[in-house]
Structure formats: C-alpha cells, structure tokens
Amino acid sequence: MDKKIVSNHSTFNPKPFMGFYIHIPFCEKRCNYCDFNTSAGMAHVMGEYVDSLKKEIKILRRRYADQFRIGSIYFGGGTPNMLSTDMVKSLVECAYSSFNVCGDAEITCECNPNALQKNYLTNLRSNGVNRLSIGMQSANKHVLTLLGRLHSFSESMDAVLHAKQSGFDNINMDIIYGIPNQSLQDFQNTLQKARDLDVQHLSLYSLSVHAATPIAAMIADGRIPAVDDDIAADMYEWADCYLRQSGFSQYEISNWSKTDRTTSYKSIHNLSTWRHQPYMGIGAGAHSYDGVRRWENIPQILDYIDSVQVDSVEKIIPHQAIINYRYLSNEEQVGEAMMMGLRLTDEGVNLENVAAAYAIDVHEVYGEKIQKLVEKGLLEVFKRNGQTVIRLTQKGRILGNLVFMEFI
C-alpha cells in the first residue's frame, strides 16, 4: 500500500478522473466555530459506521467502477484520526478492490494534533495514507482557547515531527485567521512558526461565523467583538507576500504549496474539485457529483448507518441514504465551472475550454460580467498558449465572493 506521490497522473487510462471523499463525522468535542457535519460522543458506533462506508463504496462500484478511475482518496471530518489504523486500512483496501485506483493516488487523512503519536502515524503510512492535513489552526494559546481547540502548539510541533519520522513527506497545515481578538501580530507569529515546521503545504481559511455556533453566541452577547474584515484582509495580503518569500506558491484562494525538482505538492484531490471533475462523497452528510448529477447523504450518523444498508428500489438513485438527488442544468454546470475555476489563482478559467465543454458562447453569456469585473480590478484577462484565460487579481482574491456571485 506504500505509494509515493508524484506530480501528476502520467499513466494512460481512458477513464475520467474521480476523487473519493470519505467523511468521518466523529469528534472528541465540537470546536466553537464548527458548522460541519460532526458529532461528539458517538465513538461507540465507529465500527458500524466503517462497515456502512464499505457498503456504500460497494454499492457505488456497481454504478461507477466502469466509468471512472480514482486519483485521490480524502479522509475528512470531523476527526478521521479517531479511527483505528486498521479501520483506515480496511477502507483503503475496499476502495482499491472496488474501483480502478491510480497507482500514484493521493490518499490524505485529516488529523488533529493532540495525541498524534508516531506509532499511529507509522501504521497509517504503511496502510496507504501518503498525505496528512494537520489542523494546527493557530500557534497562540488564547486563540486556540477561543476556537475551542483541544491541542497546544507544542502538540502541533510534535505531530509534524512524528509524521516526518513515520515517512510522511507531504504534509499540510490548516490555519485560521480573521478571528475575534486575533491581532495581525498573533497571525504573523502563527504563520512564521508554521513555516519553521518545514511542511510542504499550507491552507489558510478566514473564519466564517455560522449561526448556532458558540462563537456566534459570544459575538451576539458582546463577549467578543465581531470579525474585523479589514484586519482579515491585512492578514491575507501579508500572508501571500510572506509565503512567496518563504518558497510557497499560491495556486488557490486559500492554498499555498511548495514544489521541488520532482514533485508538486498541490492537493490533487482539491484541484480535481476546483476543475469541476466528478467526486464521490462517502458517509453521513457527504456530497457527490458525477458529472451531471449532485446528491448528498443523510447527515445523521445512525440514520445513515440504517439507510445505506438498503439498496434503492429506484434504478437511478443508488441507495436509500441519498437525499437531494438532482440533475444539473447546462446553465448550472457552466456557472459552477466558472466559479470553481476562478478559485485557482494562477490557472484561472480557460474560456475556450468552457465553451467547448458546455457548448456555449462564453463571451455572449458572460462577456458583460467579465468586462465589469475587469473594470473593477477584480479580474484580469490574458492569453495562454493562444487561448483566453480569466483569473482573479490580487484585489479579486480578497473579494472573491463578490466575483463568484456573478456566475451563479
């Protein structure tokens, strides 16, 4: 199962690329900002849940194994490292036995830093996982406390050290910025310490305050100030400059990676999503897109476990855990392709490729909007290999949501 990551999928295979996302919704404790589909206190059903994940993979095999090859597998959460390494191994093996998985497939596991021991990581690596995404979030104690995180920065340092000792050479760190009471200096300190850990990839996410989360309640009753968008923008601009000077290249609004002589450390799994390629979401609340249809699974863990055991009586819908199954119109497909492609800060959107893929006149449909965004300094238009490409400007990266709204 030990596969080394390479920069791209060079082996010829006529089947289209598809990513696998496996959702692990278990947590020791929900963080104060979390709006994801996660639950605390449900670890006692993890075994049943893993069996249900394998059941869903096998059901989807009947529909999609002959159509797609798997280029990436991503364990997200929640806290995937709550699973035993034997559970992870069984899921990876199920994917390999059910689908045509590329020999150089990227297999990522999200991990929380606390209690991430070398023995666990060594077993994880030997069981096929070749990329880690560690939720550092901050190096500052008061920020971690506000976020409700259970780890310290020293545990993040230990996690990276143990990962390297276990053979991982493709490590991402997640960092959150724009947090109430977080100063620019706090954030700079965090990013400098993350840089010093010598990882290959950094993901920086601006805090989103969701209703019904503890942080939203703290802001509402005045215990902490609201998010300051101006300070968050200053953090983002400083980070981009600092990371470029530190050997990272930005390739997506929230993501920076290194590149060495043989390997690009851009996330293959996330790139496929932003390029509007199909993906299968396995597990409670997971979302899927097969190229023409979207659907999601029931979010409740126990309902998912019960429902996925039953094959659907309908020929179209694979199993009973699926909800909100629908076909996308061509207009919706184009809008998604434009919106997601614009997240790619260097690659951008090739307008000729979009026109060919969806049989539309891009300039007729979007010409005025593109021109308006160019005039506002949010988009730039240029030629690459003789074809027209649009991408966000530096200002557009900060105000990305204003740009995306024009295409949906």
| Confidence band, pLDDT 50/70/90 cuts, at residue 316 | confident
pLDDT tens string 261-276: 788 999 999 999 999 9
The rounded distance, in Å, linking the Cα atoms of 144 and 156 is 12
The rounded distance, in Å, linking the Cα atoms of 366 and 372 is 10
pLDDT tens string 317-351: 888 999 999 999 999 999 999 999 999 999 999 99
Residues 321 and 313 sit within 8 Å (Cβ to Cβ): no
- The predicted structure's pLDDT at residue 259: 86
pLDDT higher than 50, residue 367: yes
CA 295, 300, 301, 307 torsion: positive or negative? negative
Q: Please report the domains of the chain, with CATH numbers, ordered by start residue.
A: 17-273 (3.20.20.70), 330-407 (1.10.10.10)
Strand ranges across the sheet with 379-384 = 349-350, 387-392, 379-384
Local structure of 206: helix, strand or coil: strand
